[in-house]
């Protein structure tokens, strides 16, 4: 049986749908069913259900808000990961921890390998890196899966924001000097379900294939959606945010190749499929 945390979130919801498609036995939880920031809550839930595998999608992901709420961010992303890892070790379960490109500082333009040096720039990035270390230190059988620029049908994301803004604006300023890979949660969910059952433990990087800037991504969203809204590329300095973002979020997929996992489709193919699915403008 597979336990999925953060099951109501953007990624977790699609992981649950993929498990259903595969007819896998699972238990899906969110904060109301199991509070990952409470050790007793985690221990009792895992002891009761005794999952063989845990897919840990729950996280504090409000990157800018984390700069002013570090304590809450750390409780969820660090303590939660530690409690889950220790509980998994106690019941002999495997754990897949979803991490982020924000564990890197974004220097240069070469794709980061899974063993590249980490140096996060933000509270969020530091918390996710500490969560990785908590998993690695407390659980023998684990997977660390770093991804980037997530979007899906559940919750808010960049794609929905762009489409919503395009309804009321003729022009949108979008940063053009941060590069990475948009990742469609449906595609990532398929890979996650492949990895969790593989026993090929380690650190992986996964995102849709190809790289682009946020402005390039926005232009493709407008083109495919038929919008006449113009995307105006700007520098990061012209759009200051509370948290510093890495300018290079390119992730190498050699870790997937070396373990025999298929890479995800291109980011252009993914956004096309996302827009074709229905009404992604609605923000839940």
**pLDDT tens-digit profile of 102-112?**
999 999 999 99
Catalytic entry in 124, 143, 151, 211: 124
How far apart, in whole angstroms, are the C-alpha atoms of residue 178 and residue 250?
Answer: 10
> Model confidence over 220-276: pLDDT tens digits?
999 999 999 999 999 999 988 999 999 999 999 999 999 999 999 999 999 999 999
φ and ψ at residue 168, rounded to 5 degrees: -120, 0
> pLDDT band for position 185 (50/70/90)?
very high
> Tell me, what DSSP letter sits at residue 140?
S
Q: Does the annotation mark 124 as catalytic?
A: yes
How far apart, in whole angstroms, are the C-alpha atoms of residue 55 and residue 256?
Answer: 18
How far apart, in whole angstroms, are the C-alpha atoms of residue 252 and residue 162?
Answer: 27
Across the chain, mean pLDDT equals 95
Q: In the block, which residue shows the tokens 């889950």?
A: 84
How far apart, in whole angstroms, are the C-alpha atoms of residue 38 and residue 227?
Answer: 46
φ and ψ at residue 226, rounded to 5 degrees: 75, 20
pTM of the full structure: 0.94
Report domain 2-157+181-209+250-265's class: alpha beta
Nearest alpha carbon to residue 94 among 58, 54, 128: 54
pLDDT value at position 282?
45
pLDDT value at position 279?
52
Please report which residue ranges of the chain form alpha helices under DSSP H.
10-21, 39-49, 70-74, 80-91, 123-138, 158-166, 185-196, 214-225, 254-259, 267-276
How far apart, in whole angstroms, are the C-alpha atoms of residue 208 and residue 151?
Answer: 11
DSSP 12-36: HHHHHHHHHHTT--EEE--TTT--T
pLDDT value at position 146?
98
Domain limits, the chain: 2-157+181-209+250-265
pLDDT value at position 19?
97
In this predicted structure, the answer to whether residue 48 has a pLDDT above a threshold of 70 is yes
When pLDDT is averaged across residues 46-66 and rounded to a whole number, the result is 96
pLDDT value at position 277?
85
pLDDT value at position 213?
97
Q: Which two tokens stand for residue 53?
A: 């595998």
φ and ψ at residue 234, rounded to 5 degrees: -135, 165
Whether the Cβ atoms of residue 163 and residue 220 lie closer than 8 Å to each other: no
In this predicted structure, the answer to whether residue 181 has a pLDDT above a threshold of 60 is yes
């Amino acid at each position: 049986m597979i336990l999925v945390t953060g099951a109501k979130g953007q990624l977790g919801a699609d992981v649950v749908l993929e498990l259903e498609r595969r007819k896998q036995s699972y238990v899906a939880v969110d904060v109301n069913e199991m509070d990952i920031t409470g050790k007793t809550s985690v221990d009792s839930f895992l002891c009761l259900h005794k999952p063989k595998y845990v897919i840990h999608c729950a996280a504090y992901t409000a990157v800018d808000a984390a700069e002013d709420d570090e304590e809450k961010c750390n409780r969820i992303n660090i303590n939660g990961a530690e409690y889950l890892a220790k509980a998994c070790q106690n019941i002999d379960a495997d754990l897949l921890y979803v991490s982020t490109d924000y564990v890197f500082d974004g220097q240069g333009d070469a794709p980061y390998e899974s063993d590249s040096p980490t140096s996060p720039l933000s509270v969020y990035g530091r918390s996710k890196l500490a969560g990785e270390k908590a998993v690695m230190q407390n659980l023998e059988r684990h997977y660390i899966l770093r991804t980037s620029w997530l979007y899906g049908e559940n919750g808010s994301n960049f794609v929905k924001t762009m489409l919503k803004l395009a309804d009321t604006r003729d022009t949108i300023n979008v940063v053009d000097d941060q590069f990475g890979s948009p990742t469609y949660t449906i595609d990532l969910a398929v890979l996650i379900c492949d990895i969790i059952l593989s026993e090929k433990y380690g650190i992986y990087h996964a995102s849709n294939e190809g790289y682009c800037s946020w402005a390039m991504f926005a232009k493709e969203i407008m083109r495919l959606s038929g919008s006449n809204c113009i995307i105006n590329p700007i520098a990061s300095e012209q759009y200051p945010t509370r948290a510093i973002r890495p300018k290079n979020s390119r992730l190498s997929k050699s870790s997937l190749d070396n373990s025999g996992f298929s890479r995800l489709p291109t980011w252009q193919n993914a956004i096309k499929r996302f827009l074709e699915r229905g009404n992604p403008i609605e923000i839940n």
